[in-house]
Amino acid sequence: MTEPRDALQQVRQWVEKAEHDLRNAEHTLTIRDEDCPFDTVCFHAQQCVEKYLKGWLASRQLDAPRSHDLVVLLNLALAAGPRPQSARRATPESLHHRSPISRGLGPD
């Protein structure tokens, strides 16, 4: 268990690192032709999610395990407490726009 003051500092550090990975992924995607290294984009996207999850755990004053497994980290984050209200509100909307089935279009 982390002290509240230390937890806030850890949250800030995890978020900063996550934002760096997100910026790297976004920047790499600006390479518009077949030379775009999509494996690098995927790596930075995974790292971004991992660091945000570890930041969430730190916000709950929990130490993040030394793991890169998003399923493990997500399960720990879900067990640590309720999702933020903004995530609850965003989930149905994001699913609506992602899935053609939810819009009544059905699969091809």
Q: What is the pTM of this model?
A: 0.71
Q: Spell out the domain ranges in the chain.
A: 4-80
For 50-80, what is each residue's pLDDT tens digit? Answer: 999 999 999 999 999 999 999 999 999 999 8
For 18-51, what is each residue's pLDDT tens digit? Answer: 999 999 999 999 998 889 999 999 999 999 999 9
- Provide φ and ψ at 62, rounded to 5°: -115, 140
Residues 6+ apart with CB under 8 A from 3: 61
